[in-house]
Amino acid sequence: MTIDPKQLRYASTHEWVSVDASGVATIGISAFAVQELTDLVFMALPKIGQKVSAQQEFGEVESVKAVSPLYSPVSGEVVEVHSALVNQLEILGEDPYEQGWIMKVQLSDPSEVEQLLDYPAYQKQCGEAA
Amino acid sequence: MTSSNLSTPLTAWHRANGARFAEFAGYDMPIQYTGIVAEHQATRTAAGLFDISHMGRLRFDGPRADQLLDHLLTRRVTDMKIGQVRYSLVCNEEGGILDDVLVSCLESPSSGQSYFLLVVNASNREKIVKWFQPHLADFPDVTMIDVTDQTAMIAIQGPKAMEICKPLFSTPIEQMGYYKARVTQQMGKATIVSRTGYTGEDGLELIVKAEDAQRVWENLILSGREAGILPVGLGARDTLRLEASMPLYGHELDETIDPFRAGLGFAVNLGDRRFVGSEALESLKSSQAVAVRVGLKLDGMRAARQGTTIIDSDSRVVGTVTSGSHSPTLNQPIAMGYVEPAMAVENLALDVDIRGSRVSAKVCPIPFYRRKSS
């Protein structure tokens, strides 16, 4: 599987989403978010079977400086969690779009994905924030 | 980028060199350049360069300047000799801490007269100036000038700081002892240099004219390049001072905290002295402490930030965290806070409540980090 950041959808809170043919969304955080956070030391992940809702907190990421919530860009049930990531957060800096995925969610409302930002819109938002 | 916040004489350099900014005490200050951990490690192993121009700088001239300051500071000033620096507190009548300061006794190169320089916290500068003003009326021969805006302040800290600075100064600064200061020149630029800092490392703090700041800063960067010097933002300044367990106003110190609770009794000279707050401090010194400043080391990787409650094994709240962060040197979360005196026992197991989850912690001696004596 090769993930092209240009093909992903993004939440304004910097999470990315990639949906496969069976309606399972892979979710992570963008390279811009990782760069802004810097010096990550901790990540709290959800549990398999947990229900998540769009725009609701599902976990947190902590840097030396501060704690930031992670928001789910979509609604559904968590079917897989990248638990190995917690002990190697540096992966997020190297490869946030493949090795750095955080969780997979079985979508309960696939139409939510359409409401997320596409790559140009997300880039524009990051440009305005920088 | 435009901003209504204050800037320092080095702000343009920080922008040109990729710093990230945040507002601190009304100033746009660099928080980090390369990253907090890299800047922290550079300071512990080589040298870090800090723009601390936001700190307030007040100059006191006049034959009775020492008596004015002796009346306002918890530390004795009247016996200070030229070249000495002391850490002191400014307390209110109740013994609450208004600020923590460094006072230096210096000699003016032009007049040969001695004068005093007070470095105060940026966030307290206005408050302290207002606090001092009515007392100045009782000392008509003393002038107080706020020289913050016409000067810049730069710290260079780390095991290689002195060797980096040595070739740049007109006097042998390496012979200057800890907590000593003098007026000298760096590459022809008038500089007040003091062997002090806020990182737990050896090093210097420099005060120069605002228009010389960039040249002095760049001289230090160039001189330290081979040694591995890095510019360091306020992010790593905070983790460095936390490891060294130095208090920060607004965290460990405020007007409700007295010096003894804060573990700063050494900065209070009582005895025959009468100064603002001395009566309250006499009675506080002999009364039972209500809380003690301690260090905590936490399990796991989540940090306990300011305001986190500290809980004992019976689920009773026994204290509050005042500062907490990941420690780059120890690679674990550390914190300082105030606990009931009975809880200030080394290795005592306590919990902290981090956003609803209990995390185990152990009381530990402070400072967390002490440099090897050279």
CB contacts under 8 A, B 310-339 vs A, are: 325-326, 328, 333
pLDDT tens by residue, B223-242: 999 999 999 999 999 999 99
Please check whether residue A39 touches B, CB under 8 A: yes
How many CB atoms within 10 Å of residue B352? Answer: 27
Please check whether residue A90 touches B, CB under 8 A: no
Instruction: Provide the CATH number for the domain formed by B11-52+149-243 in this structure.
Output: 3.30.1360.120
Residue ranges, chain B, pLDDT below 50: none
Host H or E run for residue B155: strand B151-157
User: Which top CATH class is B56-146?
Assistant: alpha beta
CB-count exposure of residue A79 (10 Å: 0-12, 13-18, 19+): middle
Domain-by-domain residue ranges, chain B? 11-52+149-243, 56-146, 289-364
* d(C-alpha A123, C-alpha A37), whole Å: 17
User: How many inter-chain contacts (A to B, CB under 8 Å) are there?
Assistant: 36
Residue A58 has pLDDT above 80, yes or no: yes
How many CB atoms within 10 Å of residue B358? Answer: 11
Amino acid letter, A38:
T
- The SS3 assignment for B44 reads helix
Write B128-137 long-range contacts (CB < 8 A, 24+): B128/B56, B128/B58, B128/B90, B128/B98, B128/B99, B128/B101, B129/B56, B129/B58, B131/B72, B131/B90, B131/B98, B132/B58, B132/B72, B135/B68, B135/B71, B135/B72, B135/B276, B136/B68
B235–A62 CB contact, under 8 Å: no
- The SS3 assignment for B166 reads helix
Cis peptide before B63 (omega within 30 of 0): no
Q: Give this prediction's pTM.
A: 0.94
Predicted pLDDT at A130: 57
Q: Which CATH superfamily is domain B289-364 in?
A: Aminomethyltransferase beta-barrel domains (2.40.30.110)
Both tokens of residue B31? 């928080």
Predicted pLDDT at A1: 59
Residue whose C-alpha is closest to residue B369's, from B161, B199, B230: B199
A42–B302 CB contact, under 8 Å: yes
Q: Is the dihedral of CA B160, B195, B176, B165 positive or negative?
A: positive
Query: What is the DSSP code (8-state) at residue B6?
Result: B
B235–A64 CB contact, under 8 Å: yes
Please check whether residue A84 touches B, CB under 8 A: no
* d(C-alpha B127, C-alpha B107), whole Å: 27
Please check whether residue B239 touches A, CB under 8 A: yes
Confidence of residue A54 (pLDDT cuts 50, 70, 90): very high
Predicted pLDDT at B2: 58
- Given a contact cutoff of 8 angstroms between Cβ atoms, the answer to whether B155 and B39 are in contact is no
Backbone angles phi, psi at B98, to 5 degrees: -85, -30
User: Which top CATH class is A8-124?
Assistant: mainly beta
B37–A65 CB contact, under 8 Å: no
Query: What is the DSSP code (8-state) at residue B228?
Result: T
Predicted pLDDT at B374: 58
Q: Rounded mean pLDDT of A64-74?
A: 95
Helices in chain A by DSSP H: which ranges?
A: 31-37, 90-94, 111-114, 119-129
Domain-by-domain residue ranges, chain A? 8-124
A41–B301 CB contact, under 8 Å: yes
Query: What is the ipTM score, two decimals?
Result: 0.86
